[in-house]
Structure 1
Amino acid sequence: MSHNAIITITNLRLRTYIGFNEEEKRKQQDIIINAEVHYPANKMCLNDNVDNALNYKVICKNIISKVENGRFLLLEKLTSDVLAICADHSWVTFAKVRIDKPHALRFADSVSLTLSYQKSDEEAL
């Protein structure tokens, strides 16, 4: 029997330069990141072996570094870059990232973009 482990990072609140108008280029904005990373949980991982689990702290630190040190014109590029970090490890079979940009529209709580990655059958070999 195989088990599927799912790491979920919920409401990671960061600030970055996002957008293409002059005000957005000068002032950092709040963003909210939600990420989900799937990988096979083998028996060693389920037996509390740290070396056989995906390290969510490393994933989170890499996301923070990329976001806080980056400048992005498009929400699509930012979301794609964060997804690449989540899908970077060879064990990852599926990853999904949603990034919300609060206050982007006057009458909406936020605007968000979601991207996902699915390992293909060829990649799994």
Structure 2
Amino acid sequence: MTITNAKISHAKIKITNLRLRTFIGFNPDEREKQQDVVINIEIHYPAALSAQTDDVSDALNYKVITKKVIQHVEEGRFLLLEKLVSDILTISCEHPWVRYCQVTVDKPHALRFADSVSLSLESHLDDR
């Protein structure tokens, strides 16, 4: 069986190590100075049509999603990592084709003896 005859179910888009700066944290110094965050997003969506047609309008546009995430993160202020990750998850799941999404945000140097602290959230949207 060739790949053209195989049944294609879901594509997995991975946006890896998107490095941005934002206000994140509740300590006084964190509220006054932007910090680095590293964002990883995985999105699953049905790709059978786009794999056959090679038509951009049949595919999920990850550039649009990334631009929305960048704008939201860079213009936002967040007390908690949970809120930041939740907002990014919401943006990443906006398109009706999305069936699953996972977002992980790392906050480098958040702890003295650790490379980073990270938080992940995921959403299963198979029923919509």
Q: TM-score range by the shorter chain?
A: over 0.9
Amino acid at match of 1:81: D
1:4 aligned onto 2:23: no
- Number of residue-to-residue matches in the alignment: 121
1:59 aligned onto 2:65: yes
Identify which of 21, 27, 34 aligns with 1:28.
Answer: 34
Cα distance in 2, alignment partners of residues 3 and 53 from structure 1: 13
* Deviations 1:71-94 (CA, angstroms, capped at 9, x unpaired): 000000000000001111000000
Identity of aligned residues (%): 60
Q: Would the aligned equivalents of 1:42 and 1:52 in 2 still touch at CA under 8 Å? A: no
Amino acid at match of 1:88: E
Structure 2: segments with no counterpart, 5+ residues: 1-6
Q: Tell me which stretches of 4 or more aligned residues in structure 1 moved more than 2 Å.
A: none
Cα distance in 2, alignment partners of residues 119 and 113 from structure 1: 20
Cα distance in 2, alignment partners of residues 83 and 119 from structure 1: 12
TM-score by structure 1 length? 0.94
Q: Which of these two proteins has the greater Rg computed from alpha carbons?
A: 2
Structure 1: segments with no counterpart, 5+ residues: none
1:19 aligned onto 2:20: no
Cα RMSD, aligned residues only: 0.9
TM-score by structure 2 length? 0.92
Amino acid at match of 1:9: I
Amino acid at match of 2:41: A
Cα distance in 1, alignment partners of residues 9 and 124 from structure 2: 17
Cα distance in 2, alignment partners of residues 3 and 50 from structure 1: 18
- Equivalence map 1:1-125=2 (5 Å): 1-43=7-49, 45-46=50-51, 47-121=53-127, 123=128
Shift of 1:120: 4.4
Q: Would the aligned equivalents of 2:100 and 2:126 in 1 still touch at CA under 8 Å? A: no
